Chain A
Amino acid sequence: MFIDPHAHMVSRTTDDYEAMAAAGIVALVEPAFWVGQPRTFVGTYVDYLSSLVGWERFRAGQFGIRHYCTIGLNSKEANNEALAEGVMEWLPRFAMKEGVVAIGEIGYDEQTPLEDKYFRAQLALAKELELPVMVHTPHRDKKRGTSRSMDVCEEMGLDPSWVVIDHNNEETVRETLDRGYWAGFSIYPSTKMGNARMVELLKQYGGDRIIVDSACDWGISDCLGVPKTAQLALESGIAESVVRRVTYENALTVYGKSGQMHAADWLDPAPIDQRTLFEGNSILRGGRDPLVEATPARRRDNLLIE
């Protein structure tokens, strides 16, 4: 049983949902993010946030996967001040919706003054609404950007145990953990973290406050990042308890602080929910062992389309 605590499902297909469910993913967190090109109207951003709490949640439910999300203005679009001001007005309304487990992903891209302004404003919002925070750390000037993100969280009075610093690597993890934050790792080919490197990090740091995610999105990325890393870690001799913490329990602990995410949501769904919004948990129902290999290869193998 896995949780993928960072997956941009609006950019993924139903094949991915099927593969994730078959591989044992029972829940995921979809952070509000940059969709590959800038939104230039406040309204398109609002509709995007609406799809995260509405349509995408329903879509995931049809595959027996529980969908949670984080609400926020991402760092790239924070640079469009008119857009950013408009979005900030709507954010509090979305932050109160069901299944919103954090404010995120927020933080720095190029570390501009506008990025800084809206990062701080959203940290203040998270504090006011008592929500955890998911911090996106920059791809460029990463090490300094990561340190600065944590400095600002502290300046704004946030408790590090309520903040996930995501997209860590070998260079940033030590400081993130030492300062008391949760350290997210995105298993994302080429640009972020590979899973063999991840296994090495688990050997070194254990499972305390470490969270593995896929960050799968519109780029070449793998929605099975979490189960594949778990399998590789187990094959490399990492203790099962450590694997379970970094691929399931830790994410549930930190995002569960929102009061919006409970294991019972997927282990024991309410009957009314099963009748209306969630197709139950096919893995638990069928008693089948989740496996990466069990991923359906329908596209390739099935000639008939009915």
Chain B
Amino acid sequence: MPVTSLALLRQWVCRQTPEQADWLKTQYARLGESANERDLHLFLGLAPRRLGKQDLILSPTDLALANQAYPGWNPSGWSLDGAARIAALLIFQGPRPFPAAFQDLVRTADARELVTLYRGLALYPQPQLLSFEVGEGLRSNMRSVFESIVHRNPYPRDHFDEHRWNHMVLKALFIGSRLGPIVGLDERANVELARILLDYAQERWAAGRQVSPELWRCIGPFAESVSAYEALERALAGTPDERGAATLALIAADTPSARTLLLTTPATTALVAEGRINWDNLTLLEAA
């Protein structure tokens, strides 16, 4: 039988709080039959009180199973009560369709709860109908709420149109967030995004500000179409991180002009070829 995200969540939560396993079992059984949203609200309120708010402890095997249950699902960084709450949402059979109940949950959520609600997006029933609430979360000024949608969450890859995807990436850069944890970053790269990001880099430079080296990752494959060589040349002359990123981007571009530019940075190009520099590791770390 294929493993489900719900089965995994239940297993992880009960494993970490065996003393609450009976309580959880009773609660989940009730939520599975209940037509009462009040029961759901009550459970969501009680979960952190009964279970605590510590990190969910996950092994590499657990993470592999998560990815098997839903490709791209990465629950690292989830909290124990968050996992229990999301399991409850997956179990709940209420009087209204899930998206309507979800709208009210978001409307009344506290800050930590919002993070939890958004982390589970990809796993919920009818996820494509949650688009409005997702938009509200993306517009949030609470960085942790924005990142709960954007990082280690396959929902954007699977449900965002190109416009929303591109603006998500741009906002991540704008607020100083990482691009690396975005699920499907390379898969969803597109020429329009490359153009937007190149403009953004020029604007930052004109204001005397830095740009995140991660930005070149989304530009590399389209360097030719958006005429990014001059900008990439500038990045090559920048900090070690920028040099590493520009080198990786030029390798991804794989055009004659890119190859010519790469000749000016043979050492970094060689490190990339050896796998010692990559997008998760832009500069060579000193040997430990």
Interface size on B, residues (CB 8 A): 24
Number of A-B residue pairs having CB atoms within 8 Å of each other in the complex? 67
Please judge, given known A-B contacts A58-B142, A96-B42, A98-B48, whether A277 and B53 are in contact too, CB under 8 Å: no
CB proximity of A161 to chain B, nearest CB, Å? 22
In angstroms, Cα B52 to Cα A259, docked, is 12
A55 touching B142 in the complex, CB below 8 Å, given contacts A97-B113, A272-B53, A272-B55: yes
A90 within 8 A of B: yes
Instruction: List chain B residues, Cβ under 8 A from A57.
Output: 110-111
- Of listed A49, A270, A277, residue having the most chain B CB within 10 A: A277
Q: Which residue of A lies closest to B107 (CB)?
A: A50
Could you say which residues of chain B place their CB within 8 Å of the CB of A90?
A: 108
- Determine whether B144 belongs to the interface, using a CB cutoff of 8 Å to chain A: yes
Tell me the chain A residues, 33-53 only, with Cβ under 8 Å from chain B. Answer: 46-47, 49-50, 53
B48, B109, B141, B144: residue with the most chain A Cβ atoms closer than 10 Å = B144
Contact flags (1/0) for A271-294 with B, using CB distance below 8 Å? 111011100000000000000000
Determine whether the beta carbon of B110 is less than 8 Å from that of A98: yes
- Which chain A residue lies CB-closest to B45? A96
CA–CA, A275 and B141, complex, Å: 16
* B204 within 8 A of partner (CB): no
List of A residues within 8 angstroms of B77 by Cβ: 272, 275
State whether A276 touches B115 (Cβ < 8 A). Answer: yes
- Is A86 engaged at the interface, CB distance under 8 Å to the other chain? no
Known: A55-B142, A96-B45, A277-B144. A46 touches B107 (CB 8 A): yes
Is B79 an interface residue, CB under 8 A from the partner? yes
Which chain B residues border A55 with CB–CB below 8 Å? 111, 141-142
Q: Is A99 an interface residue (CB 8 A)?
A: yes
With a cutoff of 8 Å between Cβ atoms, the chain B residues found around residue A300 in the complex are none
Question: What's the nearest-Cβ distance from chain A to residue B89, in Å?
Answer: 16
Least CB distance from B38 to A in Å reads 8
Complex: A96 Cα to B49 Cα, angstroms: 10
Q: Which residue of A lies closest to B42 (CB)?
A: A96
Chain B residues lying within 8 Å of A276, measured Cβ to Cβ, are 112, 115, 143-144, 147
Closest to A90 in B: B108
User: Which one of B111, B144, B147 lies within 8 Å of A53 (CB-CB)?
Assistant: B111
Residues in B whose Cβ lies below 8 Å from that of A47: 107
In the assembled complex, the Cα of A226 lies from the Cα of B49 at a distance in Å of: 31
Q: Could you say which interface size class chain A belongs to?
A: 20 to 34
Asked if residues B108 and A46 are in contact (CB atoms below 8 Å), the reply is yes
Contact A94 B108 (CB under 8 A): yes
Contact A272 B113 (CB under 8 A): no
**Chain A residues with CB under 8 A of B112:** 98, 273, 276-277
A110-166 at interface with B (beta carbon < 8 Å): none
Identity of the chain B residue whose Cβ is nearest the Cβ of A67 in the assembled complex:
B111
Instruction: Contact check, B55 vs A58: say whether CB atoms are below 8 A apart.
Output: no
Of A54, A96, A99, A273, the residue contacting B114 (CB under 8 A) is A54
* Closest A residue, CB atoms, query B142: A58
Q: When the two chains form the complex, which single residue of A54, A259, A273 contacts B109, counting CB atoms closer than 8 Å? A: A54
| A298, CB-defined interface residue at 8 Å | no
Binding site for B on A (CB under 8 A): 46-47, 49-50, 53-55, 57-58, 61, 90, 93-94, 96-99, 259, 270-273, 275-277
| 28 A-B residue pairings within 8 Å (CB atoms) | A46-B108, A53-B109, A53-B111, A54-B110, A54-B111, A54-B114, A54-B142, A58-B144, A93-B41, A94-B108, A96-B41, A96-B42, A97-B45, A97-B108, A98-B48, A98-B112, A98-B113, A259-B49, A270-B53, A271-B55, A272-B53, A272-B55, A272-B79, A273-B112, A275-B77, A276-B147, A277-B142, A277-B144
- Interface residues, chain B, CB within 8 Å of chain A? 41-42, 45, 48-49, 53-55, 77, 79, 107-115, 141-144, 147
- Contacts A46-B107, A272-B54 aside, 14 further interface pairs with beta carbons under 8 A come to A50-B109, A55-B111, A58-B144, A61-B111, A96-B45, A98-B48, A98-B110, A98-B112, A272-B53, A272-B55, A272-B79, A273-B112, A276-B147, A277-B142
